[in-house]
Amino acid sequence: MPSFDELLSGKGVFVDKSVLSPHYIPETLHFRDEEIRKIMLGVAPVLQGTKAKNLFIYGGTGTGKTSSVRQVIAKLKERGVANVYSTYMNCRVYDSRYKVLQKIISDFKPHFSKTGHSFSVLYEELLDWLEQGSGEEKKGRHLIVALDEIDVVKDLDNLVYTLVRINDDVQRGSLAIIGVSNKVNFKQRLDPRSKSALYEEEVVFQPYNAEQLSGILRNRAASAFEKGVVDESAVNLASAIAAGENGDARYALLLLLRAGELCEELPDKKISDSEIERARKLADEDKAFEVISTLPEHQQLLLYSLACLAEDVSYRKLVEDNGEKLYFSGEVYERYASLSRKLGRDPRSSRWYREYLNELELLGLVQMVGSGKGVRGHTTLLKLAYDAPRVKKAVEKTIMAE
DNA sequence: CCTCCACAGGAAGCGCAGGAGT
DNA sequence: ACTCCTGCGCTTCCTGTGGAGG
Protein backbone atom coordinates (compact mmCIF):
# COMPACT_ATOMS: atom_id res chain seq x y z
CA MET A 1 0.00 0.00 0.00
CA PRO A 2 1.37 3.42 -0.92
CA SER A 3 1.59 6.12 1.70
CA PHE A 4 -0.40 9.31 1.28
CA ASP A 5 2.85 11.24 1.08
CA GLU A 6 3.86 9.17 -1.87
CA LEU A 7 0.57 9.80 -3.65
CA LEU A 8 0.51 13.49 -2.95
CA SER A 9 4.09 14.13 -3.95
CA GLY A 10 3.07 12.92 -7.40
CA LYS A 11 5.35 9.97 -7.15
CA GLY A 12 3.65 7.83 -9.71
CA VAL A 13 2.92 8.25 -13.32
CA PHE A 14 2.31 11.83 -14.36
CA VAL A 15 4.45 14.89 -13.90
CA ASP A 16 2.20 17.17 -15.91
CA LYS A 17 -0.94 15.72 -17.41
CA SER A 18 -1.86 18.92 -19.22
CA VAL A 19 0.98 18.40 -21.70
CA LEU A 20 -1.11 15.63 -23.25
CA SER A 21 -4.29 17.68 -23.47
CA PRO A 22 -5.51 18.69 -26.92
CA HIS A 23 -5.49 22.34 -25.80
CA TYR A 24 -1.84 22.36 -24.91
CA ILE A 25 0.34 24.39 -27.25
CA PRO A 26 3.97 23.30 -27.26
CA GLU A 27 6.62 25.96 -27.59
CA THR A 28 8.15 24.17 -30.54
CA LEU A 29 6.04 22.34 -33.02
CA HIS A 30 7.80 19.47 -34.71
CA PHE A 31 7.63 18.53 -38.38
CA ARG A 32 5.63 21.59 -39.34
CA ASP A 33 8.52 23.92 -40.17
CA GLU A 34 7.56 24.29 -43.80
CA GLU A 35 3.90 25.03 -43.02
CA ILE A 36 4.79 27.53 -40.32
CA ARG A 37 7.23 29.21 -42.67
CA LYS A 38 4.49 29.61 -45.26
CA ILE A 39 2.14 31.14 -42.73
CA MET A 40 4.81 33.52 -41.51
CA LEU A 41 5.55 34.49 -45.08
CA GLY A 42 1.91 35.33 -45.61
CA VAL A 43 1.76 37.37 -42.44
CA ALA A 44 5.13 39.11 -42.73
CA PRO A 45 4.03 42.10 -44.86
CA VAL A 46 2.38 43.71 -41.83
CA LEU A 47 5.82 44.15 -40.30
CA GLN A 48 6.63 46.44 -43.20
CA GLY A 49 3.39 48.30 -42.90
CA THR A 50 1.35 46.70 -45.65
CA LYS A 51 -1.53 44.26 -45.71
CA ALA A 52 -0.85 40.61 -44.95
CA LYS A 53 -1.97 37.95 -47.39
CA ASN A 54 -5.32 36.27 -46.83
CA LEU A 55 -4.46 32.70 -45.96
CA PHE A 56 -6.47 29.57 -46.12
CA ILE A 57 -5.28 26.63 -44.07
CA TYR A 58 -6.58 23.17 -44.64
CA GLY A 59 -5.81 19.82 -42.97
CA GLY A 60 -7.41 16.93 -41.09
CA THR A 61 -7.97 16.81 -37.34
CA GLY A 62 -4.84 16.63 -35.26
CA THR A 63 -2.47 17.77 -37.97
CA GLY A 64 -1.28 20.85 -36.12
CA LYS A 65 -3.21 23.59 -37.92
CA THR A 66 -4.44 25.41 -34.87
CA SER A 67 -1.18 25.15 -32.97
CA SER A 68 0.79 26.43 -35.95
CA VAL A 69 -1.46 29.43 -36.42
CA ARG A 70 -1.45 30.29 -32.73
CA GLN A 71 2.28 29.99 -32.65
CA VAL A 72 2.76 32.36 -35.54
CA ILE A 73 0.41 34.82 -33.90
CA ALA A 74 2.27 34.53 -30.64
CA LYS A 75 5.54 35.19 -32.43
CA LEU A 76 4.06 38.21 -34.10
CA LYS A 77 2.94 39.59 -30.75
CA GLU A 78 6.40 38.94 -29.35
CA ARG A 79 7.90 41.28 -31.93
CA GLY A 80 5.78 44.01 -30.41
CA VAL A 81 5.66 46.12 -33.53
CA ALA A 82 3.49 49.20 -33.15
CA ASN A 83 0.32 49.25 -35.26
CA VAL A 84 0.40 45.50 -35.83
CA TYR A 85 -2.46 43.59 -34.21
CA SER A 86 -3.78 40.08 -34.35
CA THR A 87 -6.64 38.11 -32.91
CA TYR A 88 -7.58 34.48 -32.88
CA MET A 89 -11.06 33.09 -32.46
CA ASN A 90 -12.88 29.81 -32.85
CA CYS A 91 -15.92 30.12 -35.06
CA ARG A 92 -17.85 27.56 -33.08
CA VAL A 93 -18.20 30.37 -30.58
CA TYR A 94 -18.27 33.29 -33.01
CA ASP A 95 -20.39 31.77 -35.74
CA SER A 96 -21.75 34.76 -37.63
CA ARG A 97 -20.52 37.92 -39.28
CA TYR A 98 -21.99 39.98 -36.49
CA LYS A 99 -20.39 37.98 -33.70
CA VAL A 100 -17.00 37.99 -35.39
CA LEU A 101 -17.02 41.75 -35.75
CA GLN A 102 -18.19 42.14 -32.19
CA LYS A 103 -15.36 39.96 -30.98
CA ILE A 104 -12.73 41.90 -32.93
CA ILE A 105 -13.93 45.20 -31.53
CA SER A 106 -14.22 44.01 -27.97
CA ASP A 107 -10.68 42.64 -28.21
CA PHE A 108 -9.21 46.02 -29.05
CA LYS A 109 -11.72 48.43 -27.61
CA PRO A 110 -12.71 46.86 -24.31
CA HIS A 111 -14.68 49.94 -23.29
CA PHE A 112 -16.95 49.84 -26.30
CA SER A 113 -20.28 48.54 -25.05
CA LYS A 114 -21.04 45.08 -26.29
CA THR A 115 -24.70 45.14 -27.10
CA GLY A 116 -27.22 47.32 -28.79
CA HIS A 117 -25.34 48.17 -31.97
CA SER A 118 -26.46 47.49 -35.47
CA PHE A 119 -24.10 45.78 -37.84
CA SER A 120 -23.24 49.01 -39.65
CA VAL A 121 -22.24 50.69 -36.39
CA LEU A 122 -19.84 47.86 -35.67
CA TYR A 123 -18.47 48.10 -39.18
CA GLU A 124 -17.87 51.84 -38.88
CA GLU A 125 -16.27 51.32 -35.50
CA LEU A 126 -13.82 48.79 -36.87
CA LEU A 127 -13.10 50.99 -39.87
CA ASP A 128 -12.35 53.87 -37.57
CA TRP A 129 -10.12 51.88 -35.34
CA LEU A 130 -8.09 50.58 -38.29
CA GLU A 131 -7.58 54.05 -39.71
CA GLN A 132 -6.62 55.76 -36.53
CA GLY A 133 -3.40 54.03 -35.51
CA SER A 134 -1.96 54.25 -32.05
CA GLY A 135 0.99 56.63 -32.52
CA GLU A 136 0.77 60.39 -32.93
CA GLU A 137 1.52 60.10 -36.60
CA LYS A 138 -1.66 58.08 -37.37
CA LYS A 139 -0.31 55.51 -39.75
CA GLY A 140 -3.25 53.19 -39.51
CA ARG A 141 -3.40 49.77 -37.93
CA HIS A 142 -2.73 46.41 -39.56
CA LEU A 143 -4.86 43.59 -38.25
CA ILE A 144 -4.75 39.84 -38.76
CA VAL A 145 -7.86 37.88 -37.90
CA ALA A 146 -7.48 34.13 -37.48
CA LEU A 147 -10.77 32.26 -37.85
CA ASP A 148 -10.50 28.68 -36.69
CA GLU A 149 -13.12 26.21 -37.91
CA ILE A 150 -14.26 28.89 -40.30
CA ASP A 151 -16.59 26.43 -42.03
CA VAL A 152 -19.18 26.64 -39.24
CA VAL A 153 -19.88 30.34 -39.81
CA LYS A 154 -23.50 30.65 -40.90
CA ASP A 155 -23.25 33.65 -43.23
CA LEU A 156 -19.76 32.89 -44.38
CA ASP A 157 -19.94 34.58 -47.78
CA ASN A 158 -21.12 37.74 -46.10
CA LEU A 159 -18.38 37.60 -43.52
CA VAL A 160 -15.60 37.07 -46.03
CA TYR A 161 -17.00 39.73 -48.30
CA THR A 162 -17.20 42.25 -45.45
CA LEU A 163 -13.73 41.58 -44.14
CA VAL A 164 -12.26 41.81 -47.62
CA ARG A 165 -14.16 44.96 -48.52
CA ILE A 166 -13.05 46.78 -45.44
CA ASN A 167 -9.65 47.12 -47.12
CA ASP A 168 -11.24 49.16 -49.89
CA ASP A 169 -13.06 51.42 -47.46
CA VAL A 170 -10.10 52.14 -45.27
CA GLN A 171 -7.64 54.98 -46.02
CA ARG A 172 -4.81 53.67 -43.89
CA GLY A 173 -4.29 50.29 -42.28
CA SER A 174 -5.48 46.87 -43.37
CA LEU A 175 -7.20 43.67 -42.38
CA ALA A 176 -6.20 40.15 -43.40
CA ILE A 177 -7.86 36.82 -42.73
CA ILE A 178 -6.41 33.48 -41.80
CA GLY A 179 -9.11 30.88 -42.31
CA VAL A 180 -8.68 27.40 -40.86
CA SER A 181 -10.81 24.39 -41.74
CA ASN A 182 -10.74 20.62 -41.83
CA LYS A 183 -13.65 20.19 -44.19
CA VAL A 184 -12.70 18.96 -47.64
CA ASN A 185 -15.85 20.17 -49.35
CA PHE A 186 -15.51 23.61 -47.81
CA LYS A 187 -14.15 25.20 -50.98
CA GLN A 188 -17.18 24.28 -53.06
CA ARG A 189 -19.60 25.74 -50.57
CA LEU A 190 -18.05 29.16 -50.98
CA ASP A 191 -19.22 31.87 -53.31
CA PRO A 192 -16.66 32.20 -56.15
CA ARG A 193 -15.89 35.81 -55.22
CA SER A 194 -15.22 35.08 -51.57
CA LYS A 195 -13.29 32.03 -52.62
CA SER A 196 -10.77 33.91 -54.71
CA ALA A 197 -10.49 36.54 -51.99
CA LEU A 198 -9.86 34.06 -49.22
CA TYR A 199 -7.51 31.83 -51.17
CA GLU A 200 -4.76 34.33 -51.85
CA GLU A 201 -2.46 31.78 -50.31
CA GLU A 202 -3.22 28.21 -49.32
CA VAL A 203 -1.39 26.01 -46.85
CA VAL A 204 -2.19 22.32 -46.67
CA PHE A 205 -1.33 20.28 -43.60
CA GLN A 206 -0.62 16.67 -44.53
CA PRO A 207 -1.30 13.98 -41.93
CA TYR A 208 1.61 12.95 -39.76
CA ASN A 209 3.24 9.64 -40.56
CA ALA A 210 4.17 7.07 -37.92
CA GLU A 211 7.75 8.29 -37.44
CA GLN A 212 6.68 11.87 -37.01
CA LEU A 213 4.00 10.86 -34.55
CA SER A 214 6.43 8.88 -32.46
CA GLY A 215 8.75 11.88 -32.46
CA ILE A 216 5.94 14.05 -31.15
CA LEU A 217 4.88 11.50 -28.57
CA ARG A 218 8.39 10.96 -27.26
CA ASN A 219 8.76 14.67 -26.86
CA ARG A 220 5.53 15.18 -24.98
CA ALA A 221 5.94 12.03 -22.94
CA ALA A 222 9.24 13.32 -21.65
CA SER A 223 7.56 16.23 -19.89
CA ALA A 224 4.23 14.57 -19.15
CA PHE A 225 5.42 11.42 -17.41
CA GLU A 226 7.87 10.45 -14.72
CA LYS A 227 11.12 9.02 -16.01
CA GLY A 228 10.93 5.42 -17.14
CA VAL A 229 7.15 5.19 -17.16
CA VAL A 230 6.69 4.91 -20.90
CA ASP A 231 8.06 2.05 -22.90
CA GLU A 232 9.78 2.81 -26.18
CA SER A 233 7.71 0.21 -27.98
CA ALA A 234 4.50 1.58 -26.45
CA VAL A 235 5.21 4.94 -28.05
CA ASN A 236 5.81 3.26 -31.38
CA LEU A 237 2.61 1.28 -31.10
CA ALA A 238 0.53 4.34 -30.27
CA SER A 239 2.11 6.15 -33.22
CA ALA A 240 1.40 3.30 -35.60
CA ILE A 241 -2.23 3.15 -34.47
CA ALA A 242 -2.72 6.90 -34.83
CA ALA A 243 -0.99 6.90 -38.21
CA GLY A 244 -3.67 4.49 -39.31
CA GLU A 245 -6.29 6.91 -37.99
CA ASN A 246 -5.55 9.65 -40.53
CA GLY A 247 -2.31 10.65 -38.82
CA ASP A 248 -4.19 12.33 -36.02
CA ALA A 249 -1.75 13.54 -33.37
CA ARG A 250 -4.58 14.37 -31.01
CA TYR A 251 -5.67 10.76 -31.07
CA ALA A 252 -2.11 9.58 -30.46
CA LEU A 253 -1.86 11.84 -27.42
CA LEU A 254 -5.22 10.65 -26.14
CA LEU A 255 -3.98 7.06 -26.31
CA LEU A 256 -0.98 8.02 -24.26
CA LEU A 257 -3.09 9.88 -21.73
CA ARG A 258 -5.58 7.04 -21.31
CA ALA A 259 -2.77 4.50 -21.06
CA GLY A 260 -1.22 6.63 -18.34
CA GLU A 261 -4.46 6.76 -16.41
CA LEU A 262 -4.81 3.00 -16.74
CA CYS A 263 -1.37 2.29 -15.42
CA GLU A 264 -1.86 4.55 -12.41
CA GLU A 265 -3.82 1.66 -10.96
CA LEU A 266 -1.06 -0.80 -11.73
CA PRO A 267 1.61 -1.80 -9.22
CA ASP A 268 4.60 -1.28 -11.52
CA LYS A 269 3.41 2.04 -13.04
CA LYS A 270 4.64 1.31 -16.51
CA ILE A 271 3.06 1.93 -19.87
CA SER A 272 3.74 -0.90 -22.28
CA ASP A 273 2.03 -2.22 -25.39
CA SER A 274 -0.82 -3.82 -23.50
CA GLU A 275 -1.82 -0.50 -21.86
CA ILE A 276 -1.85 1.18 -25.24
CA GLU A 277 -4.07 -1.57 -26.60
CA ARG A 278 -6.44 -1.18 -23.69
CA ALA A 279 -6.43 2.59 -24.10
CA ARG A 280 -7.30 2.14 -27.72
CA LYS A 281 -10.24 -0.04 -26.82
CA LEU A 282 -11.45 2.57 -24.36
CA ALA A 283 -11.09 5.34 -26.92
CA ASP A 284 -12.94 3.30 -29.53
CA GLU A 285 -15.74 2.58 -27.10
CA ASP A 286 -15.99 6.22 -26.13
CA LYS A 287 -16.36 7.08 -29.77
CA ALA A 288 -18.97 4.37 -30.31
CA PHE A 289 -21.02 5.54 -27.35
CA GLU A 290 -20.83 9.07 -28.56
CA VAL A 291 -22.31 7.84 -31.81
CA ILE A 292 -25.07 6.00 -29.95
CA SER A 293 -26.16 9.17 -28.20
CA THR A 294 -26.70 10.93 -31.53
CA LEU A 295 -28.72 8.09 -33.08
CA PRO A 296 -32.45 8.45 -33.76
CA GLU A 297 -34.60 7.18 -30.94
CA HIS A 298 -35.73 4.01 -32.65
CA GLN A 299 -32.23 2.94 -33.59
CA GLN A 300 -31.33 3.27 -29.95
CA LEU A 301 -34.34 1.21 -28.95
CA LEU A 302 -33.25 -1.41 -31.43
CA LEU A 303 -29.77 -1.56 -29.94
CA TYR A 304 -31.29 -1.76 -26.51
CA SER A 305 -33.44 -4.70 -27.51
CA LEU A 306 -30.43 -6.52 -28.88
CA ALA A 307 -28.56 -5.82 -25.68
CA CYS A 308 -31.46 -7.21 -23.65
CA LEU A 309 -31.41 -10.42 -25.65
CA ALA A 310 -27.68 -10.69 -25.17
CA GLU A 311 -28.15 -10.52 -21.41
CA ASP A 312 -31.16 -12.81 -21.32
CA VAL A 313 -29.62 -16.26 -20.96
CA SER A 314 -32.94 -18.02 -21.08
CA TYR A 315 -33.74 -16.67 -24.51
CA ARG A 316 -34.55 -19.50 -26.83
CA LYS A 317 -32.97 -18.89 -30.16
CA LEU A 318 -29.29 -18.43 -29.94
CA VAL A 319 -26.65 -20.03 -32.04
CA GLU A 320 -23.18 -20.80 -30.90
CA ASP A 321 -20.54 -19.73 -33.36
CA ASN A 322 -17.19 -20.30 -31.69
CA GLY A 323 -18.59 -19.02 -28.44
CA GLU A 324 -20.35 -16.01 -29.96
CA LYS A 325 -24.07 -15.72 -29.43
CA LEU A 326 -26.06 -14.65 -32.42
CA TYR A 327 -29.68 -13.60 -32.53
CA PHE A 328 -32.33 -13.95 -35.17
CA SER A 329 -33.28 -10.80 -36.96
CA GLY A 330 -36.98 -11.60 -36.76
CA GLU A 331 -36.95 -12.12 -33.03
CA VAL A 332 -34.93 -9.02 -32.41
CA TYR A 333 -37.59 -7.14 -34.31
CA GLU A 334 -40.34 -8.57 -32.14
CA ARG A 335 -38.47 -7.65 -29.03
CA TYR A 336 -37.89 -4.18 -30.38
CA ALA A 337 -41.56 -3.78 -31.30
CA SER A 338 -42.77 -4.81 -27.87
CA LEU A 339 -40.24 -2.55 -26.18
CA SER A 340 -41.41 0.37 -28.30
CA ARG A 341 -45.03 -0.25 -27.40
CA LYS A 342 -44.14 -0.56 -23.74
CA LEU A 343 -42.65 2.92 -23.96
CA GLY A 344 -45.70 4.22 -25.80
CA ARG A 345 -44.02 4.55 -29.19
CA ASP A 346 -45.21 3.18 -32.49
CA PRO A 347 -42.63 0.69 -33.70
CA ARG A 348 -41.19 1.22 -37.14
CA SER A 349 -42.18 -1.25 -39.84
CA SER A 350 -40.06 -4.35 -40.26
CA ARG A 351 -38.90 -3.10 -43.61
CA TRP A 352 -37.53 0.04 -42.10
CA TYR A 353 -36.10 -1.94 -39.23
CA ARG A 354 -33.94 -3.74 -41.76
CA GLU A 355 -32.78 -0.42 -43.10
CA TYR A 356 -31.86 0.62 -39.56
CA LEU A 357 -29.90 -2.56 -39.09
CA ASN A 358 -27.86 -1.89 -42.19
CA GLU A 359 -26.98 1.56 -40.91
CA LEU A 360 -26.01 0.21 -37.52
CA GLU A 361 -23.76 -2.31 -39.18
CA LEU A 362 -22.15 0.42 -41.24
CA LEU A 363 -21.49 2.31 -38.02
CA GLY A 364 -19.88 -0.80 -36.60
CA LEU A 365 -22.32 -1.10 -33.73
CA VAL A 366 -23.78 -4.46 -34.72
CA GLN A 367 -22.41 -7.37 -36.68
CA MET A 368 -24.51 -9.30 -39.16
CA VAL A 369 -24.07 -12.70 -40.79
CA GLY A 370 -26.36 -14.51 -43.14
CA SER A 371 -27.78 -17.70 -41.74
CA GLY A 372 -26.08 -20.45 -43.70
CA LYS A 373 -26.85 -24.10 -43.26
CA GLY A 374 -28.62 -25.41 -40.21
CA VAL A 375 -31.27 -22.75 -40.08
CA ARG A 376 -34.71 -22.95 -41.48
CA GLY A 377 -35.48 -20.26 -43.98
CA HIS A 378 -33.26 -17.35 -44.95
CA THR A 379 -32.50 -14.86 -42.22
CA THR A 380 -29.78 -12.74 -40.72
CA LEU A 381 -28.05 -13.38 -37.44
CA LEU A 382 -27.12 -10.40 -35.29
CA LYS A 383 -24.83 -9.54 -32.46
CA LEU A 384 -23.69 -6.41 -30.72
CA ALA A 385 -20.19 -5.24 -31.49
CA TYR A 386 -19.76 -3.96 -27.93
CA ASP A 387 -20.39 -5.08 -24.43
CA ALA A 388 -24.16 -5.38 -23.86
CA PRO A 389 -24.40 -3.73 -20.40
CA ARG A 390 -22.38 -0.74 -21.60
CA VAL A 391 -24.57 -0.33 -24.66
CA LYS A 392 -27.64 -0.42 -22.44
CA LYS A 393 -26.14 2.23 -20.23
CA ALA A 394 -25.36 4.45 -23.20
CA VAL A 395 -28.95 4.21 -24.40
CA GLU A 396 -30.39 4.72 -20.94
CA LYS A 397 -28.39 7.89 -20.55
CA THR A 398 -29.87 9.48 -23.66
CA ILE A 399 -33.45 8.31 -24.06
CA MET A 400 -34.59 6.04 -21.29
CA ALA A 401 -34.93 8.82 -18.77
CA GLU A 402 -38.41 7.75 -17.69
C1' DC B 1 -38.90 -32.74 -56.66
C1' DC B 2 -41.94 -29.38 -54.85
C1' DT B 3 -43.37 -26.49 -51.13
C1' DC B 4 -42.84 -23.71 -47.20
C1' DC B 5 -40.26 -20.83 -44.26
C1' DA B 6 -38.29 -16.52 -42.84
C1' DC B 7 -36.74 -13.39 -44.21
C1' DA B 8 -34.00 -9.65 -47.99
C1' DG B 9 -34.47 -5.82 -50.46
C1' DG B 10 -36.62 -3.26 -54.73
C1' DA B 11 -40.58 -0.16 -56.20
C1' DA B 12 -44.11 2.93 -55.37
C1' DG B 13 -46.23 6.09 -52.81
C1' DC B 14 -47.39 9.12 -48.73
C1' DG B 15 -46.95 13.06 -45.47
C1' DC B 16 -44.18 16.51 -44.06
C1' DA B 17 -40.43 20.23 -43.74
C1' DG B 18 -37.79 23.50 -45.76
C1' DG B 19 -36.02 26.06 -49.76
C1' DA B 20 -36.85 28.22 -54.34
C1' DG B 21 -39.64 30.80 -57.16
C1' DT B 22 -43.10 34.43 -57.83
C1' DA C 1 -46.89 36.05 -48.12
C1' DC C 2 -48.09 32.59 -51.13
C1' DT C 3 -47.50 28.37 -53.79
C1' DC C 4 -44.66 24.87 -55.76
C1' DC C 5 -41.17 21.65 -55.64
C1' DT C 6 -37.95 18.62 -53.78
C1' DG C 7 -35.83 15.55 -50.50
C1' DC C 8 -36.39 12.68 -46.63
C1' DG C 9 -38.16 9.28 -43.49
C1' DC C 10 -41.21 6.00 -43.59
C1' DT C 11 -45.03 2.38 -44.86
C1' DT C 12 -47.14 -0.90 -47.96
C1' DC C 13 -46.75 -4.18 -51.30
C1' DC C 14 -44.26 -7.30 -53.72
C1' DT C 15 -40.86 -10.46 -55.79
C1' DG C 16 -36.58 -13.11 -54.84
C1' DT C 17 -33.66 -16.47 -52.40
C1' DG C 18 -31.45 -20.51 -50.15
C1' DG C 19 -32.08 -24.11 -47.27
C1' DA C 20 -35.44 -27.32 -44.60
C1' DG C 21 -38.99 -30.58 -44.67
C1' DG C 22 -41.97 -33.76 -46.67
Q: Tell me the pLDDT tens digit for each residue of A213-223.
A: 999 999 999 98
| A264, pLDDT greater than 60 | yes
Sign of CA dihedral A273, A277, A279, A280: positive
Contacts of A270 (CB under 8 A, 6+ apart): A228, A229, A230, A231, A263
Q: Can you give the pLDDT at residue A244?
A: 92
- Interatomic CA–C1' length for residue A201 and nucleotide B5, angstroms: 65
Per-residue pLDDT band for A336 (boundaries 50, 70, 90) equals very high
> Which phi and psi angles does A350 have, rounded to 5°?
-65, -30
* Alpha-carbon distances of A119 from A122, A125, A169, rounded to whole Å: 5, 10, 16
pTM of the model: 0.76
Q: What percent of chain A has pLDDT over 70?
A: 92
Cα of first residue to Cα of last residue in chain A, in angstroms, is 43
**Contact in structure between A275 and A297 (CB atoms under 8 Å):** no
A135 touches strand C (CB under 7 A): no
pLDDT digits (tens, 9 = 90+) for A223-233: 899 888 888 99
pLDDT digits (tens, 9 = 90+) for A7-54: 554 457 888 889 999 888 888 899 999 999 999 999 999 999 899 999
Rama region for A49: left / alpha / beta (φ>0; ψ in -120 to 50; rest): left
Instruction: Mark the nucleotides of strand B covered by protein, meaning any atom under 7 Å from a CB.
Output: 4-11
Q: Can you give the pLDDT at residue A265?
A: 82
The mean pLDDT value for A360-375 works out to 85
Q: Can you give the pLDDT at residue A10?
A: 46
Closest protein CA to C1' of nucleotide C10, residue: A352
> In chain A, what are the domains?
33-205 (3.40.50.300), 208-291 (1.10.8.60), 295-398 (1.10.10.10)
Closest protein CA to C1' of nucleotide C13, residue: A351
pLDDT digits (tens, 9 = 90+) for A63-82: 999 999 999 999 999 998 88
Closest protein CA to C1' of nucleotide B4, residue: A377
Supply the mean pLDDT for chain A: 87
- Interatomic CA–C1' length for residue A399 and nucleotide B5, angstroms: 36
**Contact in structure between A217 and A257 (CB atoms under 8 Å):** no
- Taking alpha carbons only, the member of A86, A91, A111 closest to residue A174 is A86
- Interatomic CA–C1' length for residue A349 and nucleotide B14, angstroms: 15
DSSP code for A251: H
Q: Can you give the pLDDT at residue A287?
A: 87
pLDDT digits (tens, 9 = 90+) for A77-105: 999 888 899 999 999 888 888 999 999 99
Sign of CA dihedral A226, A231, A236, A239: negative
Per-residue pLDDT band for A301 (boundaries 50, 70, 90) equals very high
Q: What number of other Cβ atoms are within 10 A of residue A100's Cβ?
A: 25
Closest protein CA to C1' of nucleotide C16, residue: A378
A294 touches strand C (CB under 7 A): no
- Interatomic CA–C1' length for residue A56 and nucleotide B22, angstroms: 39
Helix (DSSP H) and strand (DSSP E) numbers for chain A: 15, 9
